[in-house]
DNA sequence: AAGTGTAATTAGAATAATTCTAAATTAATT
DNA sequence: AATTAATTTAGAATTATTCTAATTACACTT
């Protein structure tokens, strides 16, 4: 039983792939819906494991292929921390990532576009940024609820 | 003939290692001076190749060990782009990195501390950042000098 | 000076995320 | 149905990095 995209995302999905004349295959849709439905930042291997629960025949190579396709189509983002496995993020709003070194937790940090604009102002005129990655590393303290 | 650190950096080097009771070995000093003297962003393998020119007996494992030590001592920084090899940066001032996808060039982009402070303001109160990595990806346009 | 103990270095094996290759499958088109 | 191109698949290959275990260097004691 494959994951289903809701109609809104189904349209976004099809149109994004169509722009590059790529096909909306069931593997691509399955992986996209897995990432959309659980809004964490899974690795390719975690996505592979989750995929097999409902699509047991999918291969790891296909997971990698689909993820590459989804990233190139702008449907998801890649997130990298140091040399760890690449992670994938369905949040397309401007945001940064916070990586807790103690627990491994990864959190989205929403940022106003103004910060990205102000960062761009510090570049020489001939530098054309396509993407800006902002990663916080540190720790998340437990808040005491006594 | 090993690389020599100038007296100012020699003191910084020794003191930084001493804090963690690590020894200022000639391999560690050699690698630190190589990185300081050519202010690019070399990979471990590039550093290994350069090291052997003047210290032919050094091993790749030692290069990795020394780099880890230098990073932990705060003498150099690690820089990562996507899944590429880790690179090393001697610039300890607050700055970002620009990665040109066409040429592979990597440039330091100096930033005022105020930008880092303003980024920190968007974190929840219980998030304690230790480091903030800012990476630009894009392309550097040649400026025409007619 | 010789001996002891610890840290650092070394060579090579192991690891693991990702990419590659080539064959099989699927889907669209004639 | 036959042809073609895109996609998926299994497994091999790649490669940056880490690990292991042996050797070396060096500070400290006798
Ligand atoms: Mn290992
Ligand atoms: Mn290969
Ligand atoms: Zn995210
Ligand atoms: Zn730098």
B37 and B75 housed in the same domain: yes
A74 and A28 housed in the same domain: yes
- CB-based contact A92:A77 (threshold 8 Å): yes
- Judging contacts by C-beta atoms under 8 Å, the chain A residues touching residue B97 are none
Tally the C-alpha atoms within 13 A of residue B32's C-alpha that lie toward its C-beta: 27
B45 and B108 housed in the same domain: no
Query: Which structure tokens are listed for B134?
Result: 């800012």
pLDDT of residue A2: 57
A73 and A99 housed in the same domain: no
B31 and B63 housed in the same domain: yes
Any domain includes A102: yes
Any domain includes B45: yes
Any domain includes B127: yes
B58 and B31 housed in the same domain: yes
Any domain includes A143: no
Please tell me which residue of chain A has the smallest CA distance to B135: A133
A37 and A64 housed in the same domain: yes
Q: Identify which of A130, A134, A131 has the alpha carbon closest to the alpha carbon of residue A96.
A: A134
Domain of A27, CATH number, reads: 1.10.10.10
Question: CA of B26 vs C1' of D22, distance in Å?
Answer: 21
B12 and B56 housed in the same domain: yes
- CB-based contact A52:A59 (threshold 8 Å): no
- Asked whether strand C has any atom less than 7 Å from the CB of B91, the reply is no
B33 and B64 housed in the same domain: yes
Domain of B131, CATH number, reads: 3.30.1490.190
Give the residue from A124, A126, A127, A140 with the most B CB atoms within 10 Å of its CB, the best one to mutate.
A127
Is the pTM above the cut of 0.95?
no
- The total of structural domains in chain A comes to 2
* Pairing assessment for the beta strands A95-100 and A127-140 based on DSSP bridges: parallel
Any domain includes A120: yes
- B96 near A CB under 8 A: yes
DSSP H helices in B4-112:
7-19, 26-37, 44-54, 60-72
- Is the backbone of residue A68 left (phi > 0), alpha (psi -120 to 50) or beta? alpha
- For residue B30, which nucleotide's C1' is closest to its Cα? C9
A97 and A123 housed in the same domain: yes
Q: Tens of pLDDT along A80-138?
A: 999 999 999 999 999 999 999 989 999 999 999 999 999 999 999 999 999 999 999 99
Q: Tens of pLDDT along A35-81?
A: 999 889 999 999 999 999 999 999 999 999 999 999 999 999 999 99
The residues near B83 (Cβ < 8 Å, ≥ 6 apart) are A80, A86
Domain that residue A111 falls in: 93-138
Length of chain A: 146
A74 and A97 housed in the same domain: no
Whether residue B109 and residue A126 make contact (CB cut-off 8 A), yes or no, is: no
Residue A85 parent element (H or E) = none
């Amino acid at each position: 039983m494959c994951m289903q995209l809701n109609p809104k995302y189904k349209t976004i999905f099809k149109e994004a792939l169509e722009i590059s004349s790529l096909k909306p295959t069931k593997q691509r849709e399955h992986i996209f819906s897995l990432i959309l439905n659980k809004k964490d930042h899974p690795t390719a291997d975690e996505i592979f494991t989750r995929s097999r629960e409902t699509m047991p025949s999918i291969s790891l190579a296909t997971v990698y292929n689909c993820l590459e396709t989804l990233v190139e189509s702008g449907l998801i983002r890649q997130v990298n921390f140091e040399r760890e496995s690449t992670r994938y993020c369905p949040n397309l709003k401007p945001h940064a990532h916070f990586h807790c070194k103690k627990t491994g937790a990864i959190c989205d940090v929403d940022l106003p576009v103004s910060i990205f604009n102000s960062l761009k102002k510090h570049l020489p005129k001939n530098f054309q940024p396509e993407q800006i990655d902002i990663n916080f590393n540190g720790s998340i303290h437990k808040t005491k609820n006594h």
